[in-house]
Amino acid sequence: MLKTISQKGDFAAFCLGATHSGTGKTTITLALLRALKRRGLSLQPCKCGPDYIDPSFHARAAGCPSINLDTWMMTPQGVQRSFARACRFADVAVVEGVMGLFDGFSPTSLEGSSADCARLLGLPVILVVDAGGMAGSIAPLVKGFCEFNGEISIAGVIANNVGSDSHGQLLQEALAGADLPPLLGALPNKEEWQLEERHLGLVPFLENRKANGWFERLADGAERHIDIDRLLAIVRMPKPAASVVRTVQKAAVRLALARDRAFHFYYPDNLYLLRQAGFEIVEFSPLTDRELPVGTQLVMLGGGFPEVFAAELAGNESMRSAIKAFAGHGGMIYAECGGFMYLGESLENAVGDRFPMCGVVPGRSHMTPKLCSLGYREVATVSKTPFGPPGTTLRGHEFHWSEMELSQPRQPLYLQVDRTSTGKQCGIHDQNVMASYIHLHFGATPGVIDAWSRSFSA
């Protein structure tokens, strides 16, 4: 049956939403992705919200990159462009939601929620319910989600944490008896299927590598406990029409991108836009490489977990010196969150051990016992930057358990202009160095990337 989707030129897509965080939707997403991949289908995994870690597991399960979809951070138009572009060659798109289905930018708005993505893209929702200790009560719970917003279509339900086959039968009868969307799956709670977590969510795939057999066993579970054929039959939809793909500009700027176990938080759409604008991306590892790639004109240091690998980063004195020398000779550096910490004079980990870092930023970062910042951010540049004139607005997300204490004053890079903390100074802009805790997504402002590229020829 599944092969006919591809042969007929049909397309299937759905959003795997949930009643709340912790229902197991990531594990179910991975199980479905690998099961569909085994059937020979071309997939496009997606993740609602600003998450970097879940998409790394998607990519392993599906065998292709996963993209982020966020109606606040990217704007609705940015989400539509990105989804249509990514799905051009896909048979099935599997969109994993974020938190609960209706959780987003604020409790009174759908912006940034899984529901908003589903509404905007016309995706049917498969609702994941933690059914442990539940039988007939599943019906009013699902009924509330179905009726809360008339623009959201819940096409089916997958129950997780189910105790037995007879438990699953009770759940199925409760939904059918209330004339609600069908139960498409009932999965047991298996310890082997669990994923390790720490303060930023799941432990990233680069540190928490699961063998191929683990994904295969997840797929076996999906085939055994989920009616995949029925699921695909009810989520068929027209493939979104992709806009004309921009002509790739001739590579004019060599961008050295830090990517290893310590630094790997990058939105695929940002890298796509950079390449389209003429940036040649060359990856390097601050953990293991001794020098920057030859011909580097721009260094990009993304987020990650430098605190976990602080000793190794400190031990690679050659790379730390190379980055400091690059900045000292006028080389442009852009850093976010973990990259910001790496540029400082030192980093103190959670147990109080302090390690030397690059010394580009006059400040010391240290881990804190509680979350320092979490949420969406809209910011405006304080002065002229490669992004554009002063006041250029950008959107992104901030999430960190560390603080940077500057030893010398520096001009801030941004001022917050969102509702959370209007006027708050963010990051530093020191001539050729731009660094902050904010992870930007350029989906809402693709012209900023073009301006950045042009700044190298100005």
Nearest-angstrom CA–CA distance, 226 and 410: 56
State the Cα torsion 196-201-202-204 to the nearest 10°: -130
- CB 375 within 8 Å of CB 70: no
Nearest-angstrom CA–CA distance, 93 and 90: 7
| H helical segments located in 136-267 | 138-148, 165-177, 212-225, 228-234
Q: Look at residues 444, 414, 133, 398 and name the one whose alpha carbon lies nearest to residue 265.
A: 398
Tokens of 59: 């990519």
Q: Look at residues 369, 332, 327 and name the one whose alpha carbon lies nearest to residue 344.
A: 327
Please confirm, yes or no, whether 358 is among the known catalytic residues.
no
What three-state secondary structure class fits 368? Answer: coil
CA 65 to chain CA mean position, Å: 11
Reported as type and span, the H/E element at residue 79 is helix 75-86
Residue linked to tokens 């009924």:
143
Nearest-angstrom CA–CA distance, 404 and 345: 10
What three-state secondary structure class fits 234? Answer: helix
Nearest-angstrom CA–CA distance, 334 and 358: 14
Annotated catalytic residue within 46, 48, 337, 426: 337
- Residue 87 contacts by C-beta under 8 Å, 6 or more apart in sequence? 11, 13, 44, 93, 239, 240, 242
Nearest-angstrom CA–CA distance, 115 and 295: 45
Q: Which amino acid is at 148?
A: F
- Residue length of the chain: 458
Q: Which amino acid is at 119?
A: R
Q: Look at residues 133, 49, 36 and name the one whose alpha carbon lies nearest to residue 94.
A: 36
Nearest-angstrom CA–CA distance, 268 and 75: 16
The count of C-alpha atoms lying within 13 angstroms of the C-alpha of 243, restricted to the half-sphere facing its C-beta, is 9
Q: Which residues are catalytic?
A: 337
